[in-house]
Amino acid sequence: MHDDSHSPDCSCCLDHTRAHQGVLDTLELMAGHPEASEDEIVQQLQERGYSAIAAEKLNAFVPSALAWIVLKRLGVEHLPNHFIALDEAGEEVRIPVSSQHYFTAALTLAYNTFENGWSEVLPRATYKVVADRSAEMDAANKVLNAGESLQGTTLGALHLLRLSASEVLA
């Protein structure tokens, strides 16, 4: 339940419906502005009413989640169960993937799209534009462009450079 001491998009108050809407808003912005920088996407999400932290999460997690499904199809065998962010002392903190509603909502949408086909909500062109924004697809494309395979590989944890551990866990 949401109360006035929390942001409606904090982890403890965010439900699946709101997380899914955040993913849809992010897909729309990223597809509509493929040249936009991360700062511009975050700013546009904030203009739509998302907190600065929620906007940063959406900016990082939506492309990443879409990439995971593609990478799995390309032969990546193991996906990480956590993200990495730094705490105030600069130490790495492992943050469970399952604790991040925006990520799991985007991953569910991506999985359903691959199982059921492209849709008006997530057409192929949008999927590609957004997934290609991720660090994971960037790394995979470098491997593939070098003529190597992803078959049997393990994907390392995403390092969240624009968010601290306390912000991700907020």
Q: Does pLDDT of 8 surpass 50?
A: no
**Cβ contacts of 125 within 8 Å, gap of 6 or more:** 31
Query: Which of 70, 21, 14, 69 minimizes the C-alpha distance to 45?
Result: 21
CA pair distance 121, 52, nearest whole angstrom: 25
Measured CA distances, 64 to 13, 90, 147 (Å): 23, 23, 23
- Pair 34, 40: CB distance under 8 Å: no
Is the Cα dihedral 75, 100, 138, 120 positive or negative? positive
Q: What is the pLDDT of residues 121-144, one digit of tens each?
A: 999 999 999 999 999 999 999 999
pLDDT band at 145 (very low <50, low <70, confident <90, very high): very high
- Average per-residue pLDDT in the chain? 92
Cβ-defined contacts of 43-52 (< 8 Å, 24+): 50/9, 50/22, 50/25, 51/7, 51/9, 51/10
**Residues 118-152 as b or e (16 or more Cβ within 10 Å = b):** eeeebeeebbebbbbbbebbeebeeeeeeeeebee
Chain centroid, CA 26 distance in Å: 10
CA pair distance 110, 167, nearest whole angstrom: 25
- Pair 37, 132: CB distance under 8 Å: no
pLDDT over 90 percentage in the chain: 88
Relative to beta strand 82-86, strand 92-96 is antiparallel
CA pair distance 144, 108, nearest whole angstrom: 26
Q: What is the pLDDT of residues 25-76, one digit of tens each?
A: 999 999 999 999 999 999 999 999 999 999 999 999 999 999 999 999 999 9
Q: What local confidence, expressed as pLDDT, does residue 12 receive?
A: 53
